[in-house]
Every structure is written in C-alpha cells, then in structure tokens.
Amino acid sequence: SIVRSRRRPRGCLGEDTCRRPPVGAMKEMFQDMYYQLKEMRPRTLAHQVLNLCMIVCSALMIWKSLMVLTESESPVVVVLSGSMEPAFHRGDILFLHMGYAPFRAGDIVVFKVADRDIPIVHRVIKVHEKPTGVVDILTKGDNNSVDDRGLYAAGQSWINKEHIIGRAKGYLPYIGMVTIIMNDYPLLKYCLVGLMGLFVLTSKE
C-alpha cells in the first residue's frame, strides 16, 4: 500500500498549531498563564514575586552604574526627531559620556532647557570662553536652517555646562523605535510590561 504524506504549511510545528488561529493560540496562552497563577501555592508565588523584584532591582543597579561610569544623568537616550539627519535619525539610540574635556565646535551634545521636559540632541557650533571660566555654548541641528536660540528659554542666547547631560559617543540605528512607539501608545507599553511580569511570575525556572 502507498501512503501519501501531507506537507505541513510553512511555520506549523504540529497539527494543533496548524489548526489553531493565532488569536486563539494567544487566548489559550493567557488562560494557561492565568490558571498557573491561580493554582500556584502562596510560597511559590512569593518566590516568583521575589524573582521579579530582583530583576527590577538589577536593572536599576545597572542603570545607576552606567550613570557613574559615564558621568551622565542619562547614559542612553533615543533620538525623537529628524533635526540631526543625516548624522542621526529618528529612533536611533545614543550612548552618552560627559567627560572633563572642554567643549568644542563639532561636539554632539544632549542638553535640557527650561520649560522643556524632553532633552535635545544637537551639535555645538560656537563656544565662547569667558575670563571668569564660564563657557557659553551655542547649538544647532544639522538638519535645521537656524541655530537653537529659538529653543532656549526666554532671554537665553547660550547654554552652559549645567544644561548638558552628555556628549554622544556612539549609537545604534533605529533600535529606539520601540521606545517611541510605546511612548506614543501608553496602553501598549502597560500591556507589554504586564505581559513581561506575567511571564516572570508563571515561569517554572
């Protein structure tokens, strides 16, 4: 007798996977996680919660360590606009380091100004060193036609070192788009964070 084998559609791991629609599979996965959490013993649940807390504390410790090593209050930032194209694009992740070297024209810096919650990443175009030791800095986006005086606080023509978070020392292209999407859609961010927490709580290892 001749037995003809049926080819599974690409991406199928087994019969159940092929027959089950993606939405149904996701629903079943959430149900399994819910029942695992519901049937978990209090001691086991406390152990899993402790694991989750340790992960969060480890992430905070790594961030604080980076702040010390880079001498910057925000060692990693995401580019949110196209004002620095073609050097950096929206969604690029920048790695910052402050250092003690004097600022020079051409440095790419991330700085804060009054009344603006989001830092700005632009290039230094002028540096004016006063006899008193105060250094005035003027910045401009590579893709902008004018300098940043219109972005500074009212009556402010220069920024100083205290406004600067750090200098860009490296970058990863477009990786930060995930952060931008989550900031644009807060509900998605909360869902992803909650899902990650559920995975940690229901994991068996």
Determine contact, residues 115/90, Cβ cutoff 8 Å.
no
DSSP 169: E
Q: How many angstroms from the chain centroid is the CA of residue 10?
A: 34
Q: What tokens does 26 get?
A: 């996701």
Active-site hit among 72, 83, 92, 163: 83
Helices (H), ranges, the chain = 15-19, 22-39, 42-70, 177-184, 186-202
5 annotated active-site: no
* Sign of the dihedral through C-alpha 149, 150, 154, 160: negative
Determine contact, residues 105/125, Cβ cutoff 8 Å.
yes
Q: Whole-angstrom Cα distance, residue 120 to residue 151?
A: 9
148 annotated active-site: yes
Active-site hit among 122, 142, 147, 184: 122
122 annotated active-site: yes
Active-site hit among 148, 157, 163, 203: 148
Which H, E and C letters describe 52-97, residue by residue? HHHHHHHHHHHHHHHHHHHCCCCCEEECCCCCCCCCCCCCCEEEEE
Active site members:
83, 122, 148
